[in-house]
Structure 1
Amino acid sequence: MMEKKVLVWLFSALLLGSIIPLSQAQSTSIVILVSDNEADSALAEELATLLNASVVVTTWGVYDPNVTAEIMIYGPDKVIIIGGPDAVPRDYETDLKELGIIYVRWYGGDRYRTNLDVIQNALEEYPELFENVKIIIAHGRDLGAIKLAKGIEGKKFIIYVDNNLTNTTEVLGTLVKTRNVIILKSQLMNNGTAERIRERIRERVRDGNITEENLEVTPEMAWQAIEFAINRTETAKEMLDNLTIPAATKLLELAEEKIQIANESYNEGNYGKAYGQAIAAKAHAEAIIKLASKEWKNVLHARVNTQLEREIHKLEVKIKVLEKAGIDVTEIKTRLESAKNAIQSADYETAKELIEEAKNMLRDAFIQGRGKIRGMNLPGGTGRGRP
């Protein structure tokens, strides 16, 4: 049933004229907000290249007002969020609404369905994007395959599969207007999956160029996977500070155990095992972050003063962007100082009113000063079409 639905909207999208001409899309200031999840971020990078958009990356499952400030610096006309609320928290949507920035979120229940949703929406809004595009098919959790896919030259888009999700993904890969398909076969993609993909592609891509590349796990790939797992686990630990979540504690033990096995396997030269254990550890860490994020929301909801102080901090980070652009923020700062005094006096209703006034003033200042803000250099030299 799902496959039939995909077929219907794909054929419809391919028959429709371009709702937004590609030339117009490329002249519009678009920011793609995505987490550092390897699958979603790879999609974002490829889409950004096609749209001449900018990519802003947030840590998976973690809200950071500095990321919103980075978006502000581009002065975007539109923000495309790739990934679900677990990956890119809804706090970013709130920020964009408060700034008056138009946004859409393209996502599904997991990285595979997010992959489908991104392609579906991109086809509907920018059909020209997929003219003569090269389709790369890779396992959605294979860090090495995704990295290799990103490095393939030319106009391309990545389709993710796993051993249980082939019915929809290879249909996408064959119905999009393409004659070039590359299948990246690795230890995470079993022979049966690869064979089913090959058969279905050959049924639909006539006189096309279908190639297959076998990917072996290298020491570099294994070590990179271990580093990713360690970094994600450290983030999970930070998120768990001052929280008591038995399920998360158990997951943390499992993640650390997997990392230990991965390190031992790496030292023994068993890079395939090290790679698999590291990927499993990373998945455990992301589950912890998801649990911790939900618990922190409950904590903030119960502490009105902490919630208000957090709102003030978020505004202060955004104010710095306006200041850097030479925009007068004196009145906004005055409101925030008054709000701080109200919080100290436990006058929370007054503090809320002052914070709302500051938000409205900041939005107006941002919209009016967008021209000044746009084009400012980002820390680290991030540029259009690059993460």
Structure 2
Amino acid sequence: MMGKKLMAVLFGLLMLAMPLTVGQVSAASETTVILVSDNAADKAIAEYLANLTGAVLVTTTWGTYDPNVTAEILSYAPDQVIIIGGPEAVVEQYVTDLEDYNITVYRWFGSNRYETDLAVIGNASKLFGIKFNATVVVAGNDSLAIQTALRLALQNGAMILYVNQSTNVSRIMEKFQVKEMVMVQSKASEKVMEKVARELRTCNCNAKEVQANVTAEQVETIMEQVRERFMAIEEIANLTNSTQLREQVREMLQLMEQVNQSLQKGNVSEAYLLALKLQVKTEFTLKEARMELHMAMEKNGKLALEMELEKIEAQLKILEKAGVNVSSVQVILNKVSEAIKAGNYSVARVLLKDAKKALHELYMANRELMRENSCTCHDHGKSGRH
């Protein structure tokens, strides 16, 4: 019930609403990595961009810092990294890590997933010269419908536009024209898409509708992501001994059990709605967990040193895997570990600085070797982490 009048409209809107990007990216660089969180909306547009451009896609758990993610990015020896999503989704520590290695970093984002979508499409259009043949519209909080929208967008050279109850479709239609549009929905987003359809009817516009049917397997895929987030929260709760986080863990366990029960009873739609609720809850809790961890590290010098050591060790392993002789840095790290165990934290801090400097020098001297190794070990254009 939405016909063939719709693409120039939304593309024009994207260009008008596009937030400013940080700097100007060079499209001529040999290697580009896209870093994104596992948020369904952000990740879908990152996957779309990686498929179109051949960039390497790396995913991190929403709102958390994982030293292995930085190490993976370094393994590609990229010229530039494009971060999709704001600092709550992809934490600023990644920017610091990468800039320490003189890697150019750009962050494309808005105040929410809807504005981030616009920012990515607008910036990608400018940088890579991407032109779109159609528009796929989907609710920004319907994870499975988003996956269907992604497939349709890739098949048809379309852009993905996220909508919610606040999206003013009538205003869009008053100002622009559209060539082709597809609406994707599941039972979880019927109300949002009904509103979109109503507004389109007021301006005599139609579009093709696609129903995304939820399966038990798809719900289980979402729950795998939820469990990864849950383990990150549980780990921080144990590290910080936070009563509040432990309570959140208990609540999430109860919700996870409800999902399992719904699946066992064959109530797949109910299980899906609960899984979406868990996605939102884990994001709020991860934000809280990050603050708890930050406070714990400020109070506990040993914890902060151990985490910094873990980061450098992860990066060192990447160089070693590429065939670089890392023994000189490893000697320093062994001394760091001994100093931490002995409680000589001031000595450990000095040694960590020495190790970090030596590691950076090794990386810069062997950057081309790293890149050659990444070409044989990785498949560019696909996600290194899922």
The verdict on how the C-alpha distance between 1:272 and 1:234 changes in structure 2, with shifts beyond 3 A counting, is same
The verdict on how the C-alpha distance between 1:203 and 1:26 changes in structure 2, with shifts beyond 3 A counting, is farther
The verdict on how the C-alpha distance between 1:148 and 1:117 changes in structure 2, with shifts beyond 3 A counting, is same
- Which residue of 2 is the match for residue 3 of structure 1? none
Instruction: Say which SS state the counterpart of residue 375 (structure 1) adopts.
Output: helix
Instruction: Report the AA paired with residue 66 of structure 1.
Output: N
Please say which of residues 346-355 and 137-146 is displaced more in the overlay: 346-355
Instruction: Say which SS state the counterpart of residue 266 (structure 2) adopts.
Output: coil
- Correspondent of 1:363 among 339, 360, 373: 360
The verdict on how the C-alpha distance between 1:40 and 1:168 changes in structure 2, with shifts beyond 3 A counting, is farther
- Which residue of 1 is the match for residue 380 of structure 2? 384
Instruction: Report the AA paired with residue 167 of structure 1.
Output: N
Q: Work out whether residues 164 and 192 of structure 2, in 8 Å CA contact, stay in contact via their aligned partners in 1.
A: no
Instruction: Say which SS state the counterpart of residue 89 (structure 1) adopts.
Output: coil
The verdict on how the C-alpha distance between 1:315 and 1:233 changes in structure 2, with shifts beyond 3 A counting, is closer
Aligned partners of 1:215 and 1:235: how far apart in 2? 30
Aligned partners of 2:66 and 2:356: how far apart in 1? 17
Aligned partners of 1:50 and 1:170: how far apart in 2? 30
- Which residue of 1 is the match for residue 143 of structure 2? 143
- Correspondent of 1:258 among 255, 260, 264: 255
Q: Describe the superposition over 1:42-62 as per-residue Cα deviations: whole angstroms up to 9, x where unpaired.
A: 111111122210001122223
TM-score norm. by structure 2 comes to 0.81
Aligned partners of 2:150 and 2:17: how far apart in 1? 28
Q: Work out whether residues 165 and 195 of structure 2, in 8 Å CA contact, stay in contact via their aligned partners in 1.
A: no
Q: Work out whether residues 163 and 190 of structure 1, in 8 Å CA contact, stay in contact via their aligned partners in 2.
A: no
Q: Describe the superposition over 1:225-272 as per-residue Cα deviations: whole angstroms up to 9, x where unpaired.
A: 444444433433233224344543443343233323322222332221
Q: Describe the superposition over 1:10-35 as per-residue Cα deviations: whole angstroms up to 9, x where unpaired.
A: 2498xxxxx76xxx726531000112
Q: Describe the superposition over 1:343-365 as per-residue Cα deviations: whole angstroms up to 9, x where unpaired.
A: 45544444333322322232232
Instruction: Say which SS state the counterpart of residue 119 (structure 1) adopts.
Output: helix
Q: Describe the superposition over 1:81-124 as per-residue Cα deviations: whole angstroms up to 9, x where unpaired.
A: 11223322222112102222111122233322322332333244
Instruction: Report the AA paired with residue 67 of structure 1.
Output: V
The verdict on how the C-alpha distance between 1:309 and 1:243 changes in structure 2, with shifts beyond 3 A counting, is closer
Instruction: Report the AA paired with residue 186 of structure 2.
Output: S
The verdict on how the C-alpha distance between 1:344 and 1:74 changes in structure 2, with shifts beyond 3 A counting, is same
Shift of 1:79: 0.4
Shift of 1:204: 11
- Correspondent of 1:51 among 50, 53, 67: 53
Instruction: Report the AA paired with residue 288 of structure 1.
Output: T
1:80 equivalent in alignment to 2:82: yes
Q: Could you say which structure has the greater relative contact order, defined with CA pairs below 8 angstroms and 6 or more residues apart?
A: 2
Aligned partners of 2:254 and 2:234: how far apart in 1? 14
Aligned partners of 2:318 and 2:170: how far apart in 1? 41
- Correspondent of 2:121 among 119, 122, 133: 119
Q: Work out whether residues 32 and 81 of structure 2, in 8 Å CA contact, stay in contact via their aligned partners in 1.
A: yes
- Which residue of 1 is the match for residue 15 of structure 2? 10
Shift of 1:136: 1.7
Q: Work out whether residues 169 and 196 of structure 2, in 8 Å CA contact, stay in contact via their aligned partners in 1.
A: no
Please say which of residues 50-59 and 216-225 is displaced more in the overlay: 216-225
What are the ranges of 5 or more consecutive residues in structure 1 without an aligned counterpart? 1-5, 14-18
Please say which of residues 43-52 and 147-156 is displaced more in the overlay: 147-156
Aligned partners of 1:369 and 1:157: how far apart in 2? 39
Aligned partners of 2:208 and 2:100: how far apart in 1? 48
The verdict on how the C-alpha distance between 1:200 and 1:76 changes in structure 2, with shifts beyond 3 A counting, is farther
Residues 121-200 of structure 1 aligned to structure 2 (within 5 Å): 121-126=123-128, 128-129=129-130, 131-152=131-152, 153-164=155-166, 166-167=167-168, 171=172, 179-191=179-191, 193-196=193-196, 199=199
CA RMSD of aligned residues (A): 3.4
Aligned partners of 1:314 and 1:361: how far apart in 2? 14
Instruction: Say which SS state the counterpart of residue 332 (structure 1) adopts.
Output: helix
Instruction: Say which SS state the counterpart of residue 76 (structure 1) adopts.
Output: coil
Residues 164-313 of structure 1 aligned to structure 2 (within 5 Å): 164=166, 166-167=167-168, 171=172, 179-191=179-191, 193-196=193-196, 199=199, 210-313=207-310
Q: Work out whether residues 226 and 274 of structure 1, in 8 Å CA contact, stay in contact via their aligned partners in 2.
A: no
How many positions carry a matched residue from both structures? Answer: 365
Instruction: Report the AA paired with residue 251 of structure 2.
Output: L
Shift of 1:198: 6.8
Aligned partners of 1:116 and 1:299: how far apart in 2? 37
Instruction: Report the AA paired with residue 110 of structure 1.
Output: N
Aligned partners of 2:201 and 2:48: how far apart in 1? 22
Instruction: Report the AA paired with residue 219 of structure 1.
Output: A
Shift of 1:296: 1.1
What are the ranges of 5 or more consecutive residues in structure 2 without an aligned counterpart? 1-10, 19-23
Shift of 1:145: 0.4
Instruction: Report the AA paired with residue 72 of structure 2.
Output: E
Please say which of residues 285-294 and 44-53 is displaced more in the overlay: 285-294
Instruction: Say which SS state the counterpart of residue 82 (structure 2) adopts.
Output: strand
Aligned partners of 2:350 and 2:100: how far apart in 1? 15
Instruction: Say which SS state the counterpart of residue 359 (structure 1) adopts.
Output: helix
Shift of 1:292: 1.4
